[in-house]
Amino acid sequence: MDKAKLGFIGLGYMGRPMCRNLLEAGYEVTVWNRSRPGIEECVSCGAVEVSSASELASRSDIVITMVKHGGDVSQVALEPNGLLAGAQPGMVLIDMSTISPREAQTIAAALREAGVLMLDAPVSGSTVRAVSGTLSIMVGGPTEAFDRCLPVLEVLGSSIVHVGEENGAGQGAKLCNQVLVMVNMLATCEALTLAGRLGLDPRRVFDAVKSGAGGSWQLENMGERLLVGDLEPGGTVETVQKDLDIMMKAACDLEIVLPGSSLVQQLYNAVEAEGLGKKGHQALVAAYERLTGIRIADHSSEPPPSA
């Protein structure tokens, strides 16, 4: 069976390695982006550039979008020169951005009227796992579309779960994922700050607890960065603030409380006020530094030679 012809829109720090992996897997990939660096990198790896989203859709069986906001997805998909203008019935849009479940449902409904299917398939795992093709992918949308797109998703991720038949299910799962990410990030900053205040070596405390019941991906990966004062992205503070806004609006609509997430959002507001919005999301530690006067890296020993 011939491989599907792919389109890719959104060639930022996550989209570029994802596009490269698809090219390396032998897919023909057409690309369009609003900025040049992502286009140039992917074209140098074998992608074909076009001048509009509608032209990209006309050349594609499956289109992947990886953009910042729900408004961006809607614009790319539905604007006069967007995907819908060039799509043939039967095309599938896989939106791998993080947007609200309601936005995913609205966009999918508009596409469905023209015979275009949509999967909302947000990801978790940061740039490291985008590069290695081992992202976690949470998918909502029709089984028919999921089955067609699974070989493509398997190039990009190592954990792919079809959460539900309805559009918005993948985005709902991503919100649940972000609760765990953000509250675990808070716990990581808090625990290592406490270690420093207790007069302990935060690295030794980190080594002591990371494999215990309090262990998490955030502790093991972001904790290691905090120990050496590395605040560079991965995912940025600005990005997680966008996700937190979606979470808080969803909680309001559902009339539930998310107190842990609400506290994290307030602390990130303080971090952004310090001008750290473009740093990695582990920059949450800056709020703790201001509150306690403890900088984790200043109290941590060097990593062992084998680390």
Whole-number Å distance between alpha carbons of 300 and 277:
25
Active-site residue among 3, 5, 174, 249? Answer: 174
Pairing of strands 48-49, 117-120: unpaired
d(CA 155, CA 87): 24
Q: What distances in angstroms separate CA 30 from CA 57, 70, 80, 107, one per listed residue?
A: 9, 22, 20, 22
Q: Give whole-number Cα distances, 44 to 33, 48, 60, 278, in Å.
A: 15, 9, 20, 27
Query: Which residues, in sequence order, are CB contacts of 89 under 8 Å at separation 6+?
Result: 114, 115, 116
Question: From CA 183, how far away is CA 190, in angstroms rounded?
Answer: 10
Query: What are the structure tokens assigned to 16, written together?
Result: 């570029």
279 is catalytic: no
Instruction: Give the C-alpha distances (Å, rounded to integers) separating 107 from 112, 153, 240, 250, 288.
Output: 9, 21, 22, 17, 40
Rounded-to-5 percentages of helix, strand, coil across the chain: 55, 15, 30
Residues belonging to the active site: 174
